[in-house]
Amino acid sequence: MRAETIHYSILPASPEAHLFEVICTVDAPDPAGQRFALPAWIPGSYMIREFARHIVRIEATSRGRRVALEKIDKHTWRAAPCAGPLTVTCEIYAWDLSVRAAHLDQTHGFFNGPSVFLRVLGQEDRPCTVDIRPPRGARYRRWRVATALARAGAREHGFGVYRAADYDDLIDHPVEMGTFTLAAFRACGVPHEIAITGVHDADLARLTRDLKRVCEWHIRFFGEPAPMDRYVFLLTVVGDGYGGLEHRASTALLASRADLPYRGMKATTEGYRRFLGLVSHEYFHTWNVKRIKPAAFAPYDLDRENYTRLLWAFEGFTSYYDDLALVRCGLIDAAQYRELVAKNVTTVLAGSGRRKQSVAESSFDAWIKYYRQDENAPNAVASYYVKGALVGLALDLTIRTRTQGRRSLDDVMRALWRRYGKRGRGVGERDVERVADAVTGLRLGAFFRDAVYGTKDLPLARLLAQAGLDLKPQTGPDAVSLGVRTAAAPDGVKLVNVHDGGAAQAAGLSAGDVMIAVDGLRVTHDSLQSLLARHRAGDVVQVHAFRRDELIARRVRLARAGPPQYELVDQARPKTDSRRLRRRWLGA
Ligand code: ZN
């Protein structure tokens, strides 16, 4: 048994130079020449990242002798044939403070397996051990380890040996090392912990109390017992940051420290709501995408793009349930939930990309479009996250209405869990629709054709009205617009996006231009709106701007304001049916 295990060790060899030393030992290398590869991407983040570009040095040895290592493509090496054991040692540069790769300095180390552990081709199914070693030197005496990897000799939170069932398991447990704050709680009996890296003043009692509530809601939603023995939140706090990546028994999170609750904080601030939404999102993924997963991901092909048209169900529905869980478990109130839905509607309706790309197409092209957005993205890309969440909302309300409240999207999710997730079966490209029809007894083909494969706007106003809610545009009738999204620049106002068909585009202004004056008066990000407010649609204003270092002047004919901000309000006298539907939907 032992002879078949792949052994890894990882050492923060040089924190000041951001270098990990990673060693991989294979007892029985391929007699034809063992090949090794580093993944091109990390599951959950659909972009080719080519982690091999961070390998600074790599060499192979066997029984004390150098073995020739030939590089055969951008991320694959082949060792000369040799008797085992064969050891490959790499030095890997780790300076990416995100949830996706690796980061190392004198304050902490963090890594995701795909960015550091070589895959031993042909031996991916073998069990692995990994010796996580502490950096050398007295200054690192207090460092400890947080990870959901199973221990195999290491003490709890200690350096030492951990194990994984196979390569897929090995790379699905990010590891944090350093002097993080640690807090623990149980959710439905399952031990959970949160390790917080970075300067913070978080109220741990409130944090663990609220996280427990979210986690228990999700576990009960899919049904006990939870599919994991323990769960770890690895949270890095920074001045300004936001992100998360899901794993089978943990998640790596990046958040702004101001978003965490502080001692004595009474209300749920907008920032904290955002943080709880992130936690809820990644935790829901423990089921939806880590276990209920597209057939295209079973198994992952780590060498190249893995195409699926289903991310609207895996990211979109997860985005629908992340906020919905918060209102259902009572962490936010119905008014706050209405605001979140209205904000999503505003975001989706603001971009004309929704008319050009369906959420199924957006899923398929995630690798080259959603994940690689440029200044034209609002004009070209539909978000399978935000629009996907609204597809979830529309589908849920459609099912609830058409079945007189007997069925909901909850039943569809639970059926997907029972039929696919629990059994380890991949979800085929049209299976979500099939399961939805089967579970509800409805024929939902037309819904999916328009909402998922089409570019028609969702009938949200009608559906929300059936839940006793009115979706209302907020912009006044005389508001005017340039048709741009802007950001403050040191010398003026930078055009971040220029919307198709808007006034700025018609006048020849482009994303990247920095506006410096309107009608001969200097303009700033703060003064732009008040300058525009003095005009009506049809008025022409003179705009001066810099494109690169060249001054340009353009006459801009102001247009009626573009897509409005929406708000969602309670109907004054909702029907009894609507009240009942809403009570069941929001659980309030
Ligand atoms: Zn997600």
pLDDT band at 368 (very low <50, low <70, confident <90, very high): very high
How many whole angstroms separate alpha carbon 399 and alpha carbon 410?
10
Q: pLDDT higher for 306 or 588?
A: 306
> Which tokens is 408 given?
């909901």
CA of 188 from ligand 1 middle (Å) equals 23
Task: Calculate what percentage of the chain has a pLDDT beyond 90.
Answer: 96
Contact of 278 with 242, CB cutoff 8 Å: yes
Residue range 414-440: mean pLDDT, rounded: 98
Ion ligand 1, residue ranges at CB < 5 A: 315
Dihedral, CA atoms, 341, 277, 205, 203, nearest 10 degrees? -90
At 1 the pLDDT is: 41
Average pLDDT over residues 273-278: 98
Tell me the average pLDDT across 109-134: 98
546 CA → ligand 1 middle, Å: 38
Residue with tokens 């070589």: 118
> How, if at all, do strands 190-197 and 231-238 pair?
parallel
**pLDDT > 60? residue 231:** yes
Least confident of 36-45, 189-198, 279-288, 524-533: 524-533
pTM of the model: 0.96
Distance 533 CA to ligand 1 centre (A): 39
**559 - beta bridge partners?**
481
pLDDT of residue 588: 55
Task: Please spell the DSSP secondary structure of 53-91, one letter per residue.
Answer: GGEEEEEEEETTEEE-EEEEETTEEEEPP--S-EEEEEE
Question: What is the enclosing helix (H) or strand (E) of 432?
Answer: helix 431-440
**Cα torsion for 283, 287, 290, 294, to the nearest 10°?**
-130
Domain locations in the chain? 6-177, 480-560
Local confidence band at 2 (pLDDT 50, 70, 90 cut-offs):
very low
Q: Does domain 480-560 have CATH number 3.10.20.90?
A: no
Residue range 326-343, pLDDT digits in tens: 999 999 999 999 999 999
Please give the distance of CA 102 from its chain centroid, rounded to a whole number.
17
CB 56 within 8 A of CB 95: no
Q: Report the distance separating Cα 10 and Cα 358, nearest Å.
A: 43
Q: What is the chain's mean pLDDT, rounded? A: 96
Interval between CA 315 and ligand 1 midpoint (Å):
5
User: What pLDDT does 84 receive?
Assistant: 83
Lowest mean pLDDT, pick from 169-183, 197-211, 419-433, 555-569: 555-569
122 vs 78: CA distance, rounded Å: 12
φ and ψ at residue 81, rounded to 5 degrees:
-55, 135
Per-residue pLDDT tens for 467-511? 999 999 987 767 899 999 999 999 999 999 999 999 999 999 999
How many helices and strands (H and E) does the chain possess? 16, 31
CA of 245 relative to ligand 1 center, distance in Å: 7
For residue 561, the model assigns a pLDDT of 85
Q: How far apart are CA 373 and CA 377, in angstroms?
A: 5
What pLDDT, on the 0 to 100 scale, is given for residue 567?
A: 96
- What is the CB neighbour count within 10 angstroms for residue 441? 11
Q: What is the pLDDT of residues 281-339, one digit of tens each?
A: 999 999 999 999 999 999 999 999 999 999 999 999 999 999 999 999 999 999 999 99
Distance 337 CA to ligand 1 centre (A): 19
CA of 385 to the centre of ligand 1 (A): 8
Q: What fold does the segment set 6-177 form as a domain?
A: Immunoglobulin-like (2.60.40)
Percent of the chain as helix, strand, coil, to the nearest 5: 30, 30, 40
Instruction: For residue 275, report the distance from its CA to the centre of ligand 1, in Å.
Output: 14
